Amino acid sequence: MKAYTYIKKGEFALVDKQKPAIIEPTDAIVHVTLGSICSSDLHIKHGSVPRAVPGITVGHEMVGVVEQLGTDVKGFKVGDRVTVNVETFCGECFYCKHGYVNNCTSPHGGWALGCRIDGGQTEYVRVPLAEQGLNRIPDSVTDEQALFVGDVLATGYWAARISEITEEDTVLIIGAGPTGICTLLSVMLKQPKRIIVCEQSEERRNFIRAHYPEVLITTPKECDKFVKANSDHGGADRVLEVAGGKDTFQLAWQCARPNAIVTIVALYDEAQTLPLPNMYGKNLTFKTGGVDGCDCEEVLQLIEQGKIDTTPLITHRFPLSRIEEAYQLFENREDGVIKVAIYNE
């Protein structure tokens, strides 16, 4: 089978590999029907993910069909359509039991697929701890509708959940990339009084304008003034920072009102400063982290009920054989791309 592989820093290539086999009884083999490319894949390509292992198949966003099941995997059968979670977790340790699956203490735990072990930009993938890592896709939900459940949408949903949003709130979301839009969709479910999206790219601002006309839109330059003019208490009640830009962390706390919650979803390339003297008296609560991807079943139900629809994010489609082109488009942000879907013919 063909597998898009991390060769060395700066180089990915489509190479021939053996179809994976069950190694542990908790594994499943999934036939990948649809995958996607994430900015984390680009981080691997650029050598900025030290734990990524050269030689592995990349890709951690995928849906597919169960091909084979280890003897210990309960609740699934061969032929089930499933989402695959970006995080591998045991479901049994202290962290898993409290829903903090990102910190699962299993040696397999954390971001393994498409980073430390073979991932999903291929035809078949071995999913470890499959009982936790797979979720059955309801019959009425298409592969495209379910594609982002295990990664970007899980992240947006988690971010909205931990931000404790109420119907009185003005919520500021910084960044309208794929994760920013998934965050927006999840925040909308909480029905806050106002949502303001701050985005640098005009193309992406237009995307928000076209698809979510009820959302207020601003730019990083205007953001502070705009938020103060469009909120009830001198700043946003909740700020979700999803951009990870050079100055967006500063922008996030500056736009927050006193006693606000500021949730940092973004992954920064550099250390950020927390200027405590400047923010003294503002009494902010910061929440930071990596997604605890344990809400996938709930998210799939919301998709089934028509309450979340991420299909507008799929702006381009490529067969696996042309994945190189898909990367080029995604990496250079050509042609208004938000997300690409990679399908197996």
- If the CB atoms of residues 104 and 185 are measured against Zn ion, the closer one turns out to be 104
Give the H or E element holding residue 316: strand 314-319
The single-letter DSSP state of residue 113 is B
Number of residues lying near Zn ion (CB under 5 A):
9
Q: Look at residues 82, 105, 96 and name the one whose alpha carbon lies nearest to residue 28.
A: 82
CB of 295 vs Zn ion, minimal distance in Å: 16
Give the H or E element holding residue 136: strand 134-136
* Single residue of 104, 125, 184, 265 touching Zn ion by CB under 5 A: 104
* Single residue of 1, 15, 22, 93 touching Zn ion by CB under 5 A: 93
Q: How far is CA 326 from CA 48, 123, 280, in A?
A: 21, 17, 47
- If the CB atoms of residues 20 and 120 are measured against Zn ion, the closer one turns out to be 120
CB of 52 vs Zn ion, minimal distance in Å: 12
Residue 183: what are its φ and ψ, rounded to 5°? -65, -45
- If the CB atoms of residues 153 and 184 are measured against Zn ion, the closer one turns out to be 153
CB of 131 vs Zn ion, minimal distance in Å: 12
CB 196 within 8 A of CB 170: yes
* Single residue of 32, 90, 252, 294 touching Zn ion by CB under 5 A: 90
- If the CB atoms of residues 255 and 323 are measured against Zn ion, the closer one turns out to be 323
The Cα–Cα gap between 127 and 5 comes to 17
Which residues ranging from 22 to 81 are in contact with Zn ion (CB under 5 A)?
Answer: 38, 40
- If the CB atoms of residues 121 and 263 are measured against Zn ion, the closer one turns out to be 121
| Residues in contact with 31: Cβ distance below 8 Å, sequence separation at least 6, in sequence order | 64, 65, 66, 67, 123, 124, 344
Q: How far is CA 216 from CA 201, 210, 263, in A?
A: 15, 12, 19
151 binds Zn ion per the rule CB under 5 A: yes
**Stretch of 6-14, 100-108, 268-276, 277-285 contacting Zn ion, by CB under 5 A:** 100-108
- If the CB atoms of residues 104 and 160 are measured against Zn ion, the closer one turns out to be 104
* Single residue of 58, 69, 96, 227 touching Zn ion by CB under 5 A: 96
Residue with tokens 């977790």: 89
CB of 38 vs Zn ion, minimal distance in Å: 3
Question: Dihedral of CA 338/318/121/20: which sign?
Answer: positive
- If the CB atoms of residues 43 and 233 are measured against Zn ion, the closer one turns out to be 43
CB of 105 vs Zn ion, minimal distance in Å: 6
Question: Could you list the residues that contact Zn ion (CB under 5 A)?
Answer: 38, 40, 89-90, 93, 96, 104, 106, 151
